[in-house]
Structure 1
Amino acid sequence: MKAESSGSRRKPDGRAEGHRSGHRAQPASHRQHGSRRGRRTLVVSLASAFLILGISAATGIAWDPFSVSGGSKAQAPQIGQPWSVTPSGRTPATRSEPPTTIPSATALARPTPAPVEPPTTPGGGMATDPKPASAALPFDMPSAKTLRGSRRLVFAHYFTPYPLSLDNEPSERDYYTRNYLQPGGESGKHERYGGLLRDRPLPVAPKSGDWELANLREEVRTARAAGIDGFSLDLLSLTGKNWERSNELLDAAASVDPAFKVMLMPDMTSLRADPVALADALARLAAKPAAHRLSDGRLVVSPFKAEAQDVGWWKQMLDRMRQQHRIEVAFVPLFLDYGSHSGEFSPISYGFSDWGSRSYTGQEGGTSDARRAHSAGKIWMQPVSVQDARPNQGIYDEAGNTSTLRSSWKHAIDGGADWVQLTTWNDYSEGSHFAPSLHNGYAYLDLTSYYLSRFKTGKWPKVVRDTVYLSSRTQFAHATPVGAQDLVMRPREGTATPRDKVEVLSFLTAPATLRTTTGQVKSSHRAPAGLHAELLPLRTGTSSAQSERQGRVTARVELRYPVRDSVKVQDLQYYAATSGR
């Protein structure tokens, strides 16, 4: 979403209303984000597609410290997961666009031409059966009471085009497998860039009854267990499947946990409503118990790319909410160009946010942005991101393994942000997802729980279990696909220099020796207690690592997707795994 920004829209899950384009630039993926300082035009168009052949679920991984010194086995699809980032002063990342069309009933029912084995966990179970967080994390999660007692809030940007399932079919033949992960899916419309997606949600078993509501409840439970306070809901449209899913998400949240809230985020790169129509639609959602309100009762509305309309337009919307619906609004505009627009929006705003940068070298503006907002008497919502790679836009940001995640969290903490928005929860077309996925398991979400705990409590969690995380790409940054793909991703202007590294991130209770294997090369290094990141050269083959102390192995992790020299589809997302799950 946005931190550095890529603002492109995504397709509605429903498959396919356009969603973000720079966050919407014109819809691209979901965020098109203008880079923070010197923001430039938004990148519009999101989606990337990929091809998955033999699949095994990847386990989750957690990343650690902010300092770096310096993959597991399993048949993996040869696909690429792009990232796009727009650091401050760099070309802003924009949101990716949502699918342009929503799969029809006929398309959803279409049999898969070549069944794929359902993804499973290493133990053979469905990929959605994680180990309890109490045993999977390197630290003990603070209690829900402690986390909710904090004035600091954490929201995850929810993108409606990509729910856990689009058709309630077994994963080996569902819509994701048939049409989004394969280059030839949806009648070949994504073949030019190798397929719409490079990753997907962890597969879930088909359900009886209202399976869509049941799956949304599952996502709420997953986010809540990670310590997240709520979703920031990307409103791509006011009718159709994305609108229906938006309503269902609010219902799901209320039924799972009344304390889990949904912040309304009209996507101004996608919506074409006038002030009256938007106010009336928001009022309908505001009637639902899960709609996020301040303690004084004001409804929080945080439009994506608020500068798409001028202040006068927004005043009409706010007046309509107040006069016609008797709803007072706490307006928190999210800009793709915060520096150029915060002054004019200040009189009508409760707080500010922006989409941010997706490169680890583009996070410096976060602290000054928070300071600027606070000096104006506003709260600041800081974007925190993992990575960004958009095959269908031909652009990506260099995230430096988990460096972007760790750096963006560090700036949110050090800068005194009031709220954080994880950009994104599930925009698979941008490769920016924190939600558990086929290739990353719970790795990025587990790591976020660590920083989230520090952000909300003011204290770094104590490491009580040795845990090791690995991350790397499955191909080299400059590899040229040998298949039919002719639109390849290039680094976004201003992003960090692309690199080919394996990152070993360790959380240790005491110093230990880390023994690693990358391809055919074995090595070792000493790691201190606490968090430590070590970089190793990327090599073909699989990577693994284990921590040893006094002759005993205390943790072991393997990246289940091998690195290949020759690839059919470009996939520049970083895959991650954790020893904890």
Structure 2
Amino acid sequence: MPFDLPQPAALRSGAAGRKLVFAHYFTPYPLSLDNASADADYYTRNYLDPDGESGKHERYGGLLRDRPLPVQPKGGDWEYANLQQEVRTARAAGIDGFTLDLLSLSGKNWDRSNLLMAAARSVDPAFKIMLMPDMTSLKTDDPAVLAEAIATLGSAPAAHRLADGRLVVSPFKAEEKSAAWWTRTLDILQSRHGVRTAFVPLFLDFGAHSAEFAPISYGFSEWGSRSYVGQEGNTRDVRRAHDLGKIWMQPVSVQDARPNQGIYDEAGNTATLRATWTHAIEDGADWVQLTTWNDYSEGSQFAPSLHNGYAYLDLTSYYLTRFKTGSWPAIVRDTLYLTARTQFAAADPTGDQSLVMSLRRGSAAPRDSVEVLSFLAAPAVVRTAVGSAKDTHEAPAGLHSELLPLKPGTSSAEVVREGRTRAEVELPYPADRSVEVQDLQYYAATSGRGS
């Protein structure tokens, strides 16, 4: 990375320890689904292949466009070991914990939720899991049923609690149920299970529901926008929450492209990541939720992935340090981040895909750009190659974004100072005008890591 990440103790103590950063964990997409080699595992055969799962996802060109960074098959309890690895990766990036998307109260996702609680505790007792019942997925209308499930998971030592012992409960799309329904749920948690709670509802429409939920809430959050335009509402929402005496958990995102829903947002290379982090910092958010750690079906992953490596996670560590400590970290190593799509936004897939993604209303306009994001310890020349087009630009010390037109072929960049190459990076995935499957995610590479 271009800077030295503070030690965990520095990020978890004093004022920094009160500024919490969580990453949204989505249980359907762990590091491995079958403990097989990546060249023939379930991700490769059934989620990335348009014909996977007996053609179930053919209409939209396959379920996923990216996958977790492959891991080697393991002996013993490999699922537990892989979850431990994910906790270590998040912790090493400075993240305080996961928000756990509770999709079901039984079955594989429930089992994986319980396993994650144990894995977090075993790796780092200070790494916390915030419970996030997913009200778009859970199939119960009975407050007692949900309360029992929350109490069960909440009994794990890794469950996120405030200093006064209250269990934090942060339901996704809380407005799916009324404030009265949630009041009954929280009352049952305390009367039957002895669990006091701090309720932090996450809304899809915060403005319409903040007043109704204020009397029962410790704080608020929202899912947020996945494009770099239209982020001004964050300032208003943080102020509204604080005016009501509540904490605010700000969503920070990198991109969003959903083949199976036929919709995407224009992220503008790293513009959305930088804009959402900037708002979290400048607007005075109390907590941050990275949306998401690993929802590959939405293309919103911060976790290390096949097509992005550690690029987006490393960038987040930079902004996270400023968010938690109040100071920008010194840039001590020249580092480049290169982002681009592998196809042009208007490309019409030639394969059997019939449902193509359309731009979400309110998103920025589509663009076909390569971004060179430079972190330099001192001014330098940056040489670039995008397809057959070669260019140079002067980059100042600090952070600088340079946009270049996307062209067919691969992209690369290098930092040159005093006649010597100081850093170099190549994005090995070539852009093409003719594509079989639509893929509107931005791929990323960094000079700061070997892969």
TM-score band (shorter)?
Answer: over 0.9
The answer as to 2:376 corresponding to 1:376 is no
The amino acid across from 1:382 in the alignment is Q
SS, match of residue 377 in structure 1: coil
Residue in structure 1 matched with residue 204 of structure 2 by the alignment = 336
SS at match of 2:400: strand
Whole-angstrom distance in 2 between the partners of 1:172 and 1:563: 23
Q: Check if 1:310 corresponds to 2:174.
A: no
Aligned-partner Cα distance in 1 for 2:395–2:379: 6
Aligned to 1:59: none
Q: Is residue 200 of structure 1 aligned with residue 67 of structure 2?
A: yes
Structure 2 residue 266 is matched with structure 1 residue 402: no
Deviation at 1:362, TM superposition (A): 2.2
Equivalent runs, 1:54-69 vs 2, <5 Å? none
Q: For residues 501-535 of structure 1, give each alpha carbon's deviation from its aligned partner in whole angstroms, at most 9, with x where no partner exists.
A: 00000000000000000000100000000000000
The residue number in structure 2 matching 1:250 is 117
Aligned counterpart for 1:189 among listed residues 49, 53, 56: 56
CA shift, 1:420, in A, is 0.1
- Quote the offset at 1:344 in angstroms: 0.4
The structure 2 residue matched to 1:259, chosen from 126, 132, 144, is: 126
The answer to whether the aligner puts 1:543 opposite 2:407 as a matched pair is no
Provide the identity percentage.
73
Which residue, out of 156, 167, 171, partners 2:23? 156
Alpha-carbon separation, structure 2, partners of 1:325 and 1:393: 39
Counterpart CA distance in 1 for 2:38 and 2:404 is 34
- Whether 1:364 and 2:259 are equivalent positions in the alignment is no
In structure 2, distance between residues paired with 1:384 and 1:165: 25
Given candidates 278, 284, 287, the residue that maps to 1:416 is 284
> Distance between the aligned counterparts of 1:368 and 1:223, measured in 2?
30
- Residue 416 of structure 2 aligns to a residue whose secondary structure is strand
Separation in 1, partners of 2:8, 2:203: 31
**In 2, Cα distance between equivalents of 1:327 and 1:494:** 41
Unaligned runs of 5+ in 1: 1-136
**Partner of residue 323 from structure 1, selected from 188, 191, 203:** 191
- Residue type matched to 1:316 in 2? R
Deviation at 1:366, TM superposition (A): 1.0
For residues 367-400 of structure 1, the C-alpha deviation after alignment (integer angstroms, 9 at most, x for no partner) is 1111110010000000000000001111100000
What pairs up with 1:89-168 in 2 under 5 angstroms?
137-149=1-13, 150=16, 151-168=18-35
2:307 to 422, 425, 439: 439
The residue type paired with residue 195 of structure 2 is I
Which of 238, 241, 265 lines up with 2:105 in the alignment? 238
Aligned counterparts of 1:240 and 1:535: Cα–Cα separation in 2: 46
Kindly tell me the number of residue pairs found equivalent between the two proteins.
445
> Using the alignment, how far apart are the partners of 2:362 and 2:331 within structure 1?
36
Say whether 1:388 aligns with 2:263. Answer: no
Shift of 1:363: 1.2
How far off its partner does 1:364 sit? 1.1
Matches within 5 A, 1:525-540: 525-540=393-408
Amino acid at match of 1:470: L
Residue type of the partner of 2:439? D
Q: Secondary structure of the equivalent of 2:411?
A: strand
1:61-90 deviation digits (Å, cap 9, x = unpaired): xxxxxxxxxxxxxxxxxxxxxxxxxxxxxx
Measured against aligned partners, the alpha-carbon deviations of 1:110-159 in whole angstroms (never above 9, x if no partner) come to xxxxxxxxxxxxxxxxxxxxxxxxxxx00000111110012100000000
Tell me how far apart the structure 1 counterparts of residues 39 and 395 of structure 2 sit (CA, whole Å): 41
Q: How far apart in 2 are the matches of 1:452 and 1:371?
A: 21
Cα distance in 2 for residues equivalent to 1:549 and 1:166: 46
Partner SS for 1:558: strand
Q: What's the counterpart of residue 479 of structure 1?
A: 347
Alignment of 1:441-480 (within 5 A): 441-480=309-348
Within 1, Cα distance between the matches of 2:123 and 2:349?
Answer: 44
- After the TM superposition, list the runs of 4 or more consecutive aligned residues in structure 1 that deviate by more than 6 angstroms: none
Residue equivalent to 1:129: none
Whole-angstrom CA distance in 2 between matches of 1:494 and 1:205: 41
Among residues 143, 146, 152, which one is paired with 1:275 in the alignment? 143
Q: CA deviation at 1:286?
A: 1.1
Q: Distance in 1 between matches of 2:254 and 2:231?
A: 12
Rounded to whole Å, the distance in 1 between the matches of 2:298 and 2:80 is: 25
Q: Deviations over 1:526-549 (max 9, x none)?
A: 000000000000000010000000
Deviation at residue 312 of structure 1 after TM alignment:
1.0
Q: Whose relative contact order is higher, 1 or 2, with alpha carbons under 8 Å and at least 6 apart?
A: 1
Q: Compare 456-465 and 143-152 and name the one that shifted more.
A: 143-152
Task: Please state how far the C-alpha of 1:300 moved relative to its aligned partner.
Answer: 0.1
Give, in whole Å, the separation in 1 of the partners of 2:232 and 2:100.
Answer: 27
Q: 1:173 aligns with which of 20, 23, 40?
A: 40
Query: In 1, Cα distance between the equivalents of 2:28 and 2:182?
Result: 26
* Distance in 2 of aligned mates of 1:336 and 1:219: 27
Q: Measure, in 2, the Cα distance between the counterparts of 1:561 and 1:364.
A: 34
Q: Does 1:345 align with 2:217?
A: no
Q: CA deviation at 1:192?
A: 0.6
Normalising by structure 2, report the TM-score.
0.98
Aligned partners of 1:401, 1:185: CA distance in 2, in Å?
29
2:156 paired residue number: 288
Q: Secondary structure at the residue paired with 1:555?
A: strand
Q: One-letter code of the match for 1:526?
A: E
The alignment partner of 2:445 has SS state of strand
Distance in 2 of aligned mates of 1:523 and 1:216: 43
Match of residue 575, structure 1, among 429, 443, 447: 443
Q: Distance in 2 between matches of 1:550 and 1:224?
A: 37
* Partner SS, residue 360 of structure 1: coil
Q: Distance in 1 between matches of 2:376 and 2:161?
A: 40
State how far apart, in whole Å, the 1-side matches of 2:180 and 2:8 are. Answer: 41
Gaps of 5+ in 2: none
Q: Which residue of 2 aligns with 1:112?
A: none
Q: What is the rounded CA distance, in whole Å, between the counterparts of 1:364 and 1:546 in structure 2?
A: 35
Q: Report the Cα distance in structure 2 between the residues aligned to 1:468 and 1:188, rounded to whole angstroms.
A: 40
| Counterpart AA for 2:220 | F
